[in-house]
Homo-oligomer: A and B are copies of this chain.
Amino acid sequence: MTMGRRLIEDDSDGDGETVQTGVRNRRHSSENHPTDYNIPVTSIDEDMEPAFNVNHRSKEASQYESLDYDVCENVLWRRDQTKIEPKFTVKKDFSRWVISLQIGVFTALVACCINIVIEEVSRVKYGFLKRQVDVNVIRGDLSIPYLWWSLLNLGPVVIGATLVAYVEPVAAGSGIPQVKCYLNGVKVPRIVRIKTLAVKAVGVATSVIGGLAGGKEGPMIHSGAVIAAGISQGKSTTFRRDLKILKHFRDDHEKRDFVVSGAAAGVAAAFGAPIGGTLFSLEEAASFWNQSLIWRTFFASIISSFTLNIILSAYHGLSSFRYRGLFNLGEFAPLPFEYFELPIFMLMGVFGGCTGAVWNALNSRLNKFRSHAIKPRWAKVLEAAFVAVLGATFACIMAYTINDCKPLGNDPTEHPVQLFCQDNEYNAAAALWFQTPEATVKALFHDPPGSHKILTLAVFVIIYYPLSCITYGLSVSLGIFIPTLLIGAAWGRLTASFMVLAFPASSAFVAPGKYALIGAAAQLGGVVRMTLSLSVIILETTGNIGFILPIMLTLMCAKWCGDYFNEGIYDTQIKSSRVPMLPWHVEPEYQQLSARHIMARPVVCVRVEEKVQYLLDILKNTTHNGFPVIEDGDDGSRVNGRLIGLILRSQLVVILKRSFYQESSRFWESTVSIEAFREEYPRYPAVDELHVNEDKCSGDFSVNMSMFMNPSPYSVEEGTSVPRLFQLFRALGLRHLMVVSSENRVRGIITRKDFLKHH
């Protein structure tokens, strides 16, 4: 296409309306359908002080588009609605519940598979290493177990890192920030594809088996989201299969609702916390809730934790449901606490908030450096391999040098290593490393007092804190719940030991497990900064409701303290990846502005009846995703027309692909159906892939928008304050908001990026 010439416009009369100057490209013009088209690209506007150095559609942001949460109630949609019977509505609602059920079941199944693989392989791995240590410590050569250990870490991690780096980079990390963005209304590319799920599942299993400082809980949430998106659509583009069912759920609105349930089901499976899961989804996506969605989400969560419970209980040969979640902190005996302990807990919360904030700051700087320094894929794999060996190295150094011998039989560790200890004793320092991080957390919560030396714990914290910080951000699938809990539990237990040392009388009530739990909560609160959902998750995971008050106070303190310094790790990640996620409130510097200050302008508009050639031009020469549809302006041009609708790029592409256009007056309206649009969802072809007949481009063919466009797009007057329109934008999850004059003439357009120019 070479026809789309850009015209320079000048607002010479200074009234804010763009008047075209320059050459108009007239070809094939006719009386009825004037084809003079122009794509306004820039304008100089005298009467408006630019509030900012406006730089629309910056490169970083442009890879992220918004979801279309707003239902386009065009003529096709209405026609489709009138066709459906009342029975269909009931059926549709019923399918929603059935899908929620499936989401719960499949999320649990995936969780079980990952869990069983990790458990079995880890058992073999650490059993083998223990035997190696036992054999070689007698020979006096400890380098052989070290090498074995390094190798056993290296192998799985390299597999996982290669998968993530070469096959699906979006599967890296915990996936929670990405899910959070998706729920906020940002289309993160490839986030809910089956391929991503596969890489994530294999990746998380290999990373945990490889002994990296990470957990499988975050990835479970992401898995739940993918499963939900997949099940609700009844088709997979990866597998090129279309089950021809559930077509009515093929839009962003319905899909996102299911993803909410999927994420909740993921949490429910990961922690055995159905309420916590529902709350997690809620705390992150509260602006798009309604009661029936809450209930369906809750249902999916229940089903998920129930299914997991049955499968894992059966697998472990338990007669009744004991296996509540993948991660179980273990039932605590009732934890009594005294009045005067509350200030201590709050101080621990403050400490956790501070160390969490430092962790976040370090991690984000590290990842910034990493994104510049480590760009090739092989380098990413190499880095992960290095960290895997580093873990084994630290573990060996600690195990070999710290002589923390405890009698056998007290500690529930599965692979007690004797090392240099007496017979009937085991090395407690080695025990911290000779199992998955998850098992170590449990040990720190439940080991009897005096199971660990102060030195052991102190060294462990000092090693694990930076290690986990380095690990999160590698090109592997891993969550941070477990390592964070582990650090917190370790320093919490340390606190208890110090207290008993300082005030021997306090040993009566200072249970180390209690302090480990508080420490873990404080550290986790300091890093992720969730309060309500986190309280509930911890509550459900520990099964100790009497202890909820101290945990809530600790989390509150951790959050307040951490928020003083920086944001939670997920928000930090989102900010640094420049995803245009809408915050809860508009930023302070926007408070005093109005729509006209932030809107993008001039706007590329289309008329109700528009030439195919013009449409192709605007699709190819702009990156806009929505085009206001206008009545012809008073002078018959495309500026200054009254807003009557909105048409999306994706709709135009489908219209052109399917040749839904007319020659002169002939129009085969009856053949057009909303199905055509549903079939292309969600991967609409790019405009370059369209093969439009040259004849039709150059001829009198035109598209009548009236049946495709959204006939009532949301619009605001140009004087509307930004906080006000932000509220509208956020509450309705909009993608485009039209700005109009008091006469309803299009003045500008606002998308989510316009609220975030400063980033």
Chain A residues near B (Cβ < 8 Å): 71, 73, 78, 81-82, 86, 89, 274-275, 278-279, 282-283, 286-287, 289-292, 294-295, 298-299, 302, 305-306, 309-310, 320-321, 324, 331, 336-339, 531-532, 535-536, 539-540, 543-546, 548-549, 552-553, 556, 559, 584-585, 588, 591-592, 631, 642-644, 711-712, 714, 716-717, 719-721, 723-724, 727-728, 731-732, 740, 742-744
Contact = CB atoms under 8 A, between A and B. Distances in A.
A554 B81 CA distance: 36
A592 B545 contact: no
Nearest to A289: B286
Contacts of A274: 548-549, 552
A310 B631 CA distance: 68
B712 A721 contact: yes
Given A73-B721, A287-B290, A714-B728, 11 more contacts: A278-B532, A286-B286, A290-B584, A291-B584, A298-B552, A302-B556, A539-B545, A543-B545, A544-B545, A642-B743, A740-B744
Contact of A588 (B89, B643, B716): B89
A750 B287 CA distance: 23
Contacts of A631: 742
Given A302-B552, A339-B320, A289 B292 contact: no
Given A298-B532, A711-B719, A584 B292 contact: yes
A290 B285 CA distance: 9
A548 B275 contact: yes
Contacts of A320: 336-339
B294 A283 contact: yes
Nearest to A275: B536
A399 to B, nearest CB: 36
Contact of A712 (B81, B275, B291, B717): B717
Number of copies: 2
A724 B743 contact: no
A548 B540 contact: yes
Given A73-B724, A278-B532, A302-B556, A546 B543 contact: yes
Contacts of A286: 286, 289-291, 294
7 contacts: A73-B723, A306-B553, A320-B339, A540-B548, A544-B545, A714-B728, A728-B728
Contacts of A545: 539-540, 543-545
Contact of A290 (B291, B294, B585): B585
Contacts of A278: 532
Contacts of A723: 73
Contacts of A552: 274, 298, 302
Contacts of A324: 546
A185 to B, nearest CB: 14
Contacts of A539: 275, 545
Contacts of A644: 742
Contacts of A78: 721
B712 A295 contact: no
A183 B414 CA distance: 54
B727 A81 contact: no
A544 B324 CA distance: 14
A634 B206 CA distance: 74
Contacts of A339: 310, 320-321
